[in-house]
């Protein structure tokens, strides 16, 4: 028996039931999609739902481009794939694997029937085939009730269609069909659960083979709606689309509270790294190290303000912006990656050569993107639809990189040597500053801190030519007077603020101050103990 028998039961089993001229309801659309995914033809679905064929076609086409045909094609492809992996199994066993009636399986794969259906015992393949035929029922109404109930409608919905109570439908099923409502419910529930498992497995397999692809790209291939794919992806959904929560209104933390957080963190852990603080802060539900760095200028300044250490800090990142974009794209593409900030950060943290999520968010926000959402949107566009982007940039950021092998640390002199090669031997501190920003290199202050040498010494070691006039120009006392003036203007000023303050006042550069006093801290200490009144 095939479903052709079912199709011959009549165009309408309820003479006075009007067709829905306004189209399918939301529940009707849901049931139409489920029936199509069980192998029903659009004409059979229209008959089941007492709807117009055009409405069914339109509803299915809106959910899956290509409608019922595309859904059946996707299901047939997975059925044949299953048979290739289960060569010793018969097609009857596909019913339990896919949650699709045996008769529909045979029709889709164009295989002859293994046996006559008859009335099959509950739980055996083909049990619902007899429901499809309706041959063992007392009349067309009973067959219609059984078909509707076994393939998606509730007793109440069937009763509403016939204008009777749900209990009356239960009686019809028990007295006028070979099956009770309980038998039909058990069989339909088993198929529904099998269908859910198979679809979920298909969606997750698609996700693993199509990293970062938009969910819409899966619809025709899987024969499922976007909502179904989104639901069945579960946590994998973040690999294919942004799943960002509604923006929260941040609670501003005072500097005193941040200092207390830092002191408590140091007392409890004895650690000083920014990552260790962020891990601790997450457990304590307080802002991470980014907030401290922003409020105090740098992470090291925050530590100093808290009085917990004179930390030297880690070397400045040598990653270019293209490297940072490539890291985001790698995390988005990876099977164990994602698109949320947390998913990307955790993926990068597990790879010793990769930049941190904090660095990416800090560097790429601004002229490149206003938010993390825009960073991810751009990354997904580079992967899935790069036509509107610069192809040279796309090639650079999608090129494969080894994030598992740590880079060899570049010494301070090597950075200056590279600057000398590009800019010439007489590299000024201002020239180096601009070059370092453009090339993602450490600042001059970072190089001096890491090497323990002043700029002129490092430049000479790199084969450059220091500016002798600046080295031998102003005396220590003269330089100290300018530091005094700076502190008059800004009593709590930092070295970076001095660098911005000095040019407009013909003051010595920061490197000259460091030359004369060995360090910025020593210059400040000397100025404060000089006897000048600092306001």
Cα dihedral 35, 238, 347, 367 sign: positive
Residues 6+ apart with CB under 8 A from 482: 502, 505, 507, 508, 513
pLDDT tens digit string along 325-345?
A: 899 999 988 888 888 888 888
Token representation of residue 460: 């000479």
- Indicate the pLDDT class of residue 244, thresholds 50, 70 and 90: very low
Average pLDDT on 22-38 reads 85
Q: How far apart are CA 174 and CA 167, in angstroms?
A: 11
pLDDT(140) > 50: yes
Confidence of residue 35 (pLDDT cuts 50, 70, 90): very high
Confidence bin at 78 (pLDDT 50/70/90): very high
Structure confidence at residue 60 (pLDDT): 93
pLDDT-derived band at 130 (thresholds 50, 70, 90) equals confident
Please check whether residue 403 is in contact with residue 353, taking contact to mean a CB–CB distance below 8 angstroms: yes
Please write the tens of the pLDDT for every residue from 418-430.
Answer: 888 888 888 888 8
Count the Cβ atoms, other than its own, within 10 Å of residue 217: 14
What's the token pair of residue 361?
């968010």
pLDDT at site 250: 44
What mean pLDDT do residues 103-125 have?
69
Q: How far is CA 379 from the centre of its chain?
A: 10
pTM for the whole structure: 0.53
Query: Could you report the per-residue pLDDT of 259-312, keeping only the tens digit for each?
Result: 888 888 888 887 777 777 878 888 888 887 777 776 776 777 788 888 876 444
CA distances from 503 to 23, 322, 476 (A): 74, 32, 18
User: What confidence score (pLDDT) does residue 246 get?
Assistant: 40
Per-residue 3-state assignment (H helix, E strand, C coil) for 236-274: HHHHCCCCCCCCCCCCCCCHHHHHHHHHHHHHHHCCCCH
- The full set of domain ranges for the chain reads 3-187, 255-306, 321-398, 408-465, 473-535
How many angstroms separate the CA atoms of 444 and 478, rounded? 23
pLDDT at 366: 56
Q: Which residues contact 108 (CB under 8 A, 6 or more apart)?
A: 39, 72, 75, 76, 79, 100
pLDDT tier for residue 8 given thresholds of 50, 70 and 90: very low
Arithmetic mean of pLDDT, 53-78: 92
**450-462 average pLDDT score:** 80
């Amino acid at each position: 028996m095939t479903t052709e028998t079912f199709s011959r039961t009549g165009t309408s089993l309820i003479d006075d039931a009007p067709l829905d001229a306004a189209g399918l309801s939301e529940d009707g659309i849901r049931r139409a999609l489920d029936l199509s995914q069980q192998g029903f033809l659009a004409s059979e679905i229209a008959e089941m739902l007492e709807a117009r064929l055009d409405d069914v076609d339109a509803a299915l086409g809106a959910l899956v481009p290509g409608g019922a045909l595309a859904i059946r094609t996707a299901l047939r492809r997975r059925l044949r794939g299953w048979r290739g992996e289960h060569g010793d199994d018969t097609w009857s066993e596909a019913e339990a694997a896919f949650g699709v009636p045996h008769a529909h399986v045979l029709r889709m794969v164009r295989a002859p029937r293994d046996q006559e259906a008859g009335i099959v015992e509950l739980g055996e393949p083909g049990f619902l085939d007899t429901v499809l035929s309706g041959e063992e029922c007392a009349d067309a109404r009973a067959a219609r009730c059984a078909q509707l109930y076994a393939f998606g409608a509730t007793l109440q919905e069937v009763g509403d269609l016939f204008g009777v109570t749900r209990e009356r439908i239960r009686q019809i099923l028990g007295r006028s069909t070979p099956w009770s409502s309980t038998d039909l419910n058990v069989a339909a529930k088993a198929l529904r659960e099998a269908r859910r498992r198979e679809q979920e497995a298909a969606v997750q397999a698609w996700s693993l083979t199509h990293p970062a692809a938009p969910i819409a790209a899966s619809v025709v291939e899987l024969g499922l709606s976007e909502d179904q794919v989104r639901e069945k992806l579960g946590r994998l959904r973040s690999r294919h689309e942004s799943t960002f929560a509604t923006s929260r209104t941040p609670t501003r933390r005072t500097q005193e509270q941040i200092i207390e957080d830092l002191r408590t963190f140091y007392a409890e852990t004895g650690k000083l790294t920014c990552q260790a603080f962020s891990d601790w802060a997450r457990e304590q539900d307080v802002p991470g190290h980014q907030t401290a760095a922003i409020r105090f200028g740098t992470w090291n300044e925050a530590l100093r303000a808290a009085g917990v250490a004179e930390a030297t800090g880690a070397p400045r990142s040598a990653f270019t912006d293209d490297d940072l974009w490539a890291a985001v794209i790698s995390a988005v593409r990876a099977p164990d990656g994602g698109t949320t900030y947390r998913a990307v950060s955790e993926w990068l943290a597990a790879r010793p050569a990769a930049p941190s999520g904090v660095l990416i968010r800090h560097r790429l926000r601004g002229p490149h993107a206003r938010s993390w959402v825009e960073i991810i949107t751009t990354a997904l566009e580079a992967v899935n639809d790069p036509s509107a982007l610069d192809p040279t940039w796309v090639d650079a950021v999608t090129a494969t990189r080894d994030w598992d092998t740590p880079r060899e640390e570049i010494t301070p002199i090597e950075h200056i040597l590279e600057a000398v090669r590009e800019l010439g031997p007489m590299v000024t501190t201002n020239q180096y500053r601009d070059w370092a920003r453009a090339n993602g290199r450490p600042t001059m202050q970072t190089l001096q801190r890491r090497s323990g040498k002043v700029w002129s010494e490092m430049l000479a070691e790199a084969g450059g030519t220091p500016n002798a006039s600046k080295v031998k120009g102003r005396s220590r006392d003269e330089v100290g007077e300018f530091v005094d003036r700076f502190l008059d203007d800004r009593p709590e000023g930092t070295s970076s603020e001095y660098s911005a303050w000095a040019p407009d006042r013909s003051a010595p550069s920061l490197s000259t101050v460091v030359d004369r006093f060995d360090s910025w801290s020593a210059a400040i200490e000397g100025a404060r103990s000089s006897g000048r009144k600092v306001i």
